[in-house]
Structure 1
């Protein structure tokens, strides 16, 4: 076993080791639900770049320390302080984070993500683009950004746009978490493994090929199944329109109680974030590969830094925790097409500028 010796907070927060021919990444900030800092992103990216060309490493596993989950996302408080002061640290963080997401999606070796417990925002970015994505009965996979005046990023719009029908639109606008069965249905995960078996699965990966280990542990998703399959009819109908106002109207007119609940949820979110999210989802389908989606998300995220709703949303949900955000504008009707278009404006020399994708459909196992 080869351990990196911890020398600072970054090393403490991202533990790297190799066992046999497999490399392991452990996010180690359990008190912050393994939230990602900029230095953590850089350390993960550096390790992946190194292992990519190491013939002694044939697979990579990423997991989270503690009992609560893989990763709750980025460091929201840091983004809050940066947005309040007009800084550039968040834009720098997203640039490196999104590049890491793209690296994971194109990684030439099996990248196994153990998506146990809470997997939100940036946690989705470091797991759901992987080769092998494993959920458990404890998994709660979500992109809850509209609740803080933000928009799904880390390739989230790309993943959700690929979900069957309008399921991804529903998850993106409401921020609702997907359990194991729903994550599998929406293409956010590949396999179900009971959480109690994950330590043994991870240990076995040190000695055996990924496909052999999966055969031993993968099981059917637990009962009861998720809710999205049975809700598909009203979701596909209600989320088909290309305006949030029309979606909300259909939800309110639906006979399904869950549709009424979704309408109430949408009414609590940032009107601007809802409209930008819907526009991003509709546009991303025509953009092509993940890299183009990440470039669009980078434009949106940078624009959000100067939007009042991001600061207000984080204040209400994370800082003061009064759960009573005062959105600006406060209603969907007051969010103009120009307000939405501002989020998609080119950044000139500050574009993300990811290299063209060279995807391969076959990963050497």
Structure 2
């Protein structure tokens, strides 16, 4: 009897501790605000201010950024919106996944609310009527990608590390714009992207100051400033895109109608490049790989809004499954880097299982 009571209260205590961590995600006790929202001249400036955790995005930040972005969008005295990260190491290393994981384990609504409100914010960035400039200096992953790539301008530096590592933790990646940016080496026309090493010699502060000094800037005005900084820097100007020599291999090896086919292509090729890709894929969640493959195929022809609706469905499928929790455990909690995926092979992940992940959530679907 005593053992039963002890186990019951131990379980309750663990649940309470989890809920306390979730509540801490919602209500910060820090004196320093987690996001700074400032008006500098005619510019609205958003600074993610959690440098100790690489500016990881949490619900508090989302709920501050979204209404302010909408306010600036409709403010006649705000001409441009700039978003950046504090601390010098990261723009944003992603969403605060550990808090979402704890919420999912105890059935807390944060597991639904976080992704819903994050994607609503991403859509607002994508359709923002004012020029939106993301200064992606440092680590930019997962949720940080969502805060940057959907805006009009993305400015990278020599310190930018851009990644979507979700399949390593049993989640899925975002197909909209990311795949096309990677395919073109991150170089978009029309002032869309300022590529990494180009501005080391001049620096983000100088660029930001020049942007802030613009009076009622048009998209062309901003593009000219970005182009001028790129043209003034000679750092690594002669270096080709790092994957340039592998583009034809990528097109050939990854042109298959299934993930299994891609893996077969890589193994049959036998080159150092192919072997490295095969090894990487072998470590990922088989379920996430199959979902992501279909997601990239379908997302290539969808609007941002439709992609986000699809992605929200997939996020909730991950919350219902087990690989997401196992991936977070292996990568972020225990850090043993040895997740036990279920199913453990690509062949065990049926088309029906994948179809269920894409199915409508009814009245719980994301509405934009």
TM-score range, shorter chain: 0.7 to 0.9
| Alignment match of 1:280 (pick from 295, 300, 304) | 295
- Look up the match of 2:240: 225
Q: Distance in 2 between matches of 1:227 and 1:85?
A: 44
Deviation at 1:182, TM superposition (A): 3.4
TM-score when normalising by structure 1: 0.85
Root-mean-square deviation over aligned CA pairs: 2.2
Is residue 91 of structure 1 aligned with residue 112 of structure 2?
A: yes
Q: Distance in 2 between matches of 1:136 and 1:229?
A: 19
Q: Distance in 2 between matches of 1:352 and 1:322?
A: 35
Deviation at 1:216, TM superposition (A): 3.2
Deviation at 1:197, TM superposition (A): 1.1
Q: Partner of 2:159: helix, strand, or coil?
A: coil
Contact 1:14 1:43 in 2 (8 A): yes
- Look up the match of 2:9: none
Q: Partner of 2:341: helix, strand, or coil?
A: coil
- Look up the match of 1:26: 47
Is residue 70 of structure 1 aligned with residue 84 of structure 2?
A: no
Deviation at 1:327, TM superposition (A): 0.4
Deviation at 1:225, TM superposition (A): 3.0
Contact 1:234 1:256 in 2 (8 A): no
User: Kindly tell me: are residues 133 and 10 of structure 1, through their superposed partners in 2, closer, same or farther at Cα, counting changes over 3 Å?
Assistant: farther
| Alignment match of 2:330 (pick from 316, 335, 340) | 316
Q: Distance in 2 between matches of 1:8 and 1:91?
A: 23
- Ranked by relative contact order (alpha carbons within 8 Å, sequence separation 6 or more), the top structure is 1
Deviation at 1:161, TM superposition (A): 4.2
Q: Partner of 1:15: helix, strand, or coil?
A: strand
Deviation at 1:341, TM superposition (A): 1.1
User: Kindly tell me: are residues 345 and 186 of structure 1, through their superposed partners in 2, closer, same or farther at Cα, counting changes over 3 Å?
Assistant: farther
Q: Distance in 1 between matches of 2:31 and 2:290?
A: 37
Contact 1:26 1:62 in 2 (8 A): yes
Contact 1:10 1:43 in 2 (8 A): no
- Look up the match of 1:243: 258
Is residue 182 of structure 1 aligned with residue 169 of structure 2?
A: no
Contact 1:34 1:64 in 2 (8 A): yes
Contact 1:296 1:344 in 2 (8 A): yes
User: Residues 248-263 of structure 1: matches in 2 within 5 Å?
Assistant: 248-263=263-278
Instruction: Give CA-to-partner distance per residue, 1:126-162, whole Å, 9 cap, x none.
Output: 001111111111111111000000001xxx2112343
TM-score when normalising by structure 2: 0.84
Instruction: Give CA-to-partner distance per residue, 1:71-94, whole Å, 9 cap, x none.
Output: 011001112212222332121111
Contact 2:322 2:342 in 1 (8 A): yes
